[in-house]
Structure 1
């Protein structure tokens, strides 16, 4: 008779395309989100939290594949309706703005932070769950709202540790791009060709001038030798598109002047340039030059999404890739005006503009520049020398916590004292507190500076080690005061 098979143990592994975040990473992200929220709050935006699940109908045409409701998102059918984990934070805002339009102020200014989920093929640095941090104004048709978003994005980058000179916010207008297509004879009826041209314009950073011209016309060979079909424009049409893409001057005012010259007779293109000129003037009034917020007609974003100004925050410093080659870090935030999104629900035009910051990319940028080390100080650890005196050890951490100092009692097996110090090191604890029977009788404790101790053990000579003892004795009554001094570097 066959024996029953034991049930297979579950595999302890993260699902493909997802990852786990541990203490220091979570602490760094929370710190960054708090800093971003401070700036958004100063600008008058209110927080909003929406459900992680939306109806697929609410997410709508902005999904990657509208013919298959479960493509691009994590979706399931329930009682005849398709539900999905939210794909971004903008579609939920559009639903909220429509659902609560009689209760919300106009304009409605909100920010939202949280994870979003995309059912896409994962890759290096590309996950199916990631954090976004958005700020949007709904109900303001004036481009002053777009200019404010750009200024706020600049302040936000500087608040989290990206100084001026290390970033630029590039601004364009979809009306200018649409007008450029109109000037080469592509009408609104040429939907597929217009979309193909815009997608090609967006590849400027990857393939350069010649690559763009080839892709706009007959096609090109890519790096692997494969032939990529072109859009099929004439050489003259492609050159006209290139003229618009390559217009930037040395200053915003020069760029605006040149754009008026190249946008032709298109009413829409001229309207787009006019709006860019207003944005440039408004951000200049807030202290921004083209060095931080730059008019750049090569920016192409959200082909089926944005209806007016578009902007992208790009970090300009170099980092080393996995092969040790220098490269620019690239984009960490983007946004623009999307006046048709709420209209899907209400049937009435509702102007809206906003920005989304890629939190994980911004954190990676700060780590690459050494402005975050992926580590955070652990708690002060009170060691256990005598199990019978646990109440006194708990009293110590209670005093430290009341003083705002992070602290814990070692709760493992205290038999091996060396293991307690190893635990404190693994926790990145700055200080260990030691009190045995003898110290208790004399009303003192030993405090061990673990950070200094590690430095001494690594580099110091015997003489230096003796002159800078990492462990010293202090009065028990002075525990809080002395540890605060150690944490603030005064000892």
Structure 2
């Protein structure tokens, strides 16, 4: 009986996850370094928490979810305790601060970047794993800390190369929003409260008319021919008119005119007034930090000021529609989150940047270095028995070409099958190698080495039409003393760098 062949595993990427190549990761690191620099200028220092937390420590705070526990990836460990992958970086920070409270300086300023996970249905631009970069101040009760957060976000946008007029940090207050909901008779009616908040959050997208429909019977979305109907909050017409009045004037005036005298609204307006005064005094005008009553953050743990970093330029979405790019980060005050673990109140405020979304925005603006980088210097292998010699040459080049503080020059020995030399040159070409080093038995005996400038060789080859002439020309290749290997390779790399600099200028 013939033996059954083992079945092959099909290589397939899980839905909602992405692979990322070197160029993407380098661009991301470039962006993270800029953000980190801004955070550290404000006195924040790094901390790292694990990707897993005990499920009860994370709490039920997922945004816009009727069943929060359905939105996390969870498992039972060998102690029969439920653990979950973190869905944001704030809940783990709250646990960390509570666990180390006595040892930490208060207020405690920290930042952290890391992947978070949502067990949700993936879609266009919606992933199950994505990176956030957070900054938080724990133990600061005054709204001056919230103002500082807004100002730091404005500085971050500009440090990343996003000019004024193409971004704004929008600020609102959950006390204002909750006070409005109480004032229109929705105390305790959580489903309708959430519907109203979602409607207000759509003001930038749908305007007064669209929000009015969402506050009333509902809105039919006919874009793309779908005809999706969103059920409204079913507020009375006079109540809708009163709510919409908060958008009649810039910033604080609309809210104050419609709801002044409501305790929660008045408290929230006082905090927003203080934030606005701090920002304006420090030179952050309304084109950078703007009080905006339409800002609604989804997480339920926010207790005071909330922020959103919005990009104002237009892009074309996956449907071919021209739309405003929109939010790339947000946050707010969460005075009750750390207190869940302690017997005392612990005020806190923070901000989270959506790294992948911001990176997409910077690519649209041409603010990330996406130019192809030079590949490694490749030391080719002419004789398998001389691998130690080739490794010695590579080590010499690595040590000589990589000065501290300078861009890295990678050097590698070809580790594939050296039988066909042409395959080695093909490999070097695919790796975008600027230089290859060649030393066969004859060169070794004469203490010589061949150094081939692949970029110059390609340029010369374009001017030669005859194969025999090309072989004779040995385009871009020179024979040098082995003792001159480093200076020859360095001269070629310097020439390439100068040419790139001239092209960029």
Change (3 A) 1:344 1:101: same
Q: 1:280 maps to what in 2?
A: 276
Are 1:45 and 1:109, in contact at CA under 8 Å, matched by a contact in 2? yes
Q: 2:239 maps to what in 1?
A: 237
Q: Secondary structure at the match of 2:240?
A: helix
Q: Quote how far apart the aligned CAs of 1:142 are.
A: 1.0
Q: 1:73 maps to what in 2?
A: 72
Q: Whole-Å Cα distance in 2 between the matches of residues 456 and 151 of structure 1?
A: 54
Q: Secondary structure at the match of 2:245?
A: helix
TM-score with structure 1 length normalisation?
A: 0.87
Q: Quote how far apart the aligned CAs of 1:355 are.
A: 0.9
Q: 1:319 maps to what in 2?
A: 315
Q: Secondary structure at the match of 1:332?
A: strand
Q: 2:421 maps to what in 1?
A: 417
| Range with bigger deviation, 37-46 or 430-439 | 430-439
Change (3 A) 1:258 1:454: farther
Aligned residues, how many? 476
Q: 2:380 maps to what in 1?
A: 383
Q: 2:21 maps to what in 1?
A: 22
Question: In the TM superposition, what whole-angstrom CA distance separates every residue of 1:24-47 from its partner, at most 9, and x where no partner exists?
Answer: 222222332233222222221121
Change (3 A) 1:228 1:323: closer
Q: 1:160 maps to what in 2?
A: 160
Change (3 A) 1:160 1:147: same
Q: 2:406 maps to what in 1?
A: none
Are 1:183 and 1:264, in contact at CA under 8 Å, matched by a contact in 2? no
- Among residues 355, 365, 368, which one is paired with 2:364 in the alignment? 368
Structure 1 residues 155-234: aligned runs within 5 Å: 155-187=155-187, 189-223=188-222, 224-234=226-236
Q: Quote how far apart the aligned CAs of 1:102 are.
A: 1.4
Q: Quote how far apart the aligned CAs of 1:438 are.
A: 6.2
Q: 1:486 maps to what in 2?
A: 495
Q: Quote how far apart the aligned CAs of 1:143 are.
A: 1.3
Q: 2:291 maps to what in 1?
A: 295
Q: Quote how far apart the aligned CAs of 1:421 are.
A: 2.7
| Range with bigger deviation, 17-26 or 105-114 | 17-26
Q: 1:344 maps to what in 2?
A: 340
Structure 1 residues 448-467: aligned runs within 5 Å: 448-450=453-455
Change (3 A) 1:448 1:364: same
Are 1:306 and 1:339, in contact at CA under 8 Å, matched by a contact in 2? yes
Are 1:69 and 1:82, in contact at CA under 8 Å, matched by a contact in 2? no
Q: 1:251 maps to what in 2?
A: none
Q: Whole-Å Cα distance in 2 between the matches of residues 127 and 376 of structure 1?
A: 28
Q: Quote how far apart the aligned CAs of 1:108 are.
A: 1.0
| Range with bigger deviation, 388-397 or 125-134 | 388-397
Q: Whole-Å Cα distance in 1 between the matches of residues 299 and 62 of structure 2?
A: 12
Question: In the TM superposition, what whole-angstrom CA distance separates every residue of 1:182-232 from its partner, at most 9, and x where no partner exists?
Answer: 333433x33332222112111223433212101111223232334432211
Q: 1:358 maps to what in 2?
A: 354
Q: Whole-Å Cα distance in 2 between the matches of residues 134 and 410 of structure 1?
A: 42
Structure 1 residues 97-176: aligned runs within 5 Å: 97-176=97-176
Q: Which runs of 5+ in 2 are unaligned?
A: 403-408, 501-505
Q: Secondary structure at the match of 1:170?
A: strand
Q: 1:47 maps to what in 2?
A: 46
Q: Quote how far apart the aligned CAs of 1:470 are.
A: 7.5
Q: Whole-Å Cα distance in 1 between the matches of residues 180 and 66 of structure 2?
A: 31
Q: Whole-Å Cα distance in 1 between the matches of residues 347 and 380 of structure 2?
A: 60
| Range with bigger deviation, 429-438 or 72-81 | 429-438
Q: Quote how far apart the aligned CAs of 1:107 are.
A: 0.8
Are 1:246 and 1:297, in contact at CA under 8 Å, matched by a contact in 2? no
- Among residues 318, 329, 332, which one is paired with 1:333 in the alignment? 329
Change (3 A) 1:69 1:208: closer
Q: Secondary structure at the match of 1:162?
A: coil
Change (3 A) 1:433 1:85: same
Are 2:434 and 2:493, in contact at CA under 8 Å, matched by a contact in 1? no
Q: Quote how far apart the aligned CAs of 1:443 are.
A: 4.4
Are 1:219 and 1:231, in contact at CA under 8 Å, matched by a contact in 2? yes
Q: Whole-Å Cα distance in 1 between the matches of residues 362 and 189 of structure 2?
A: 43
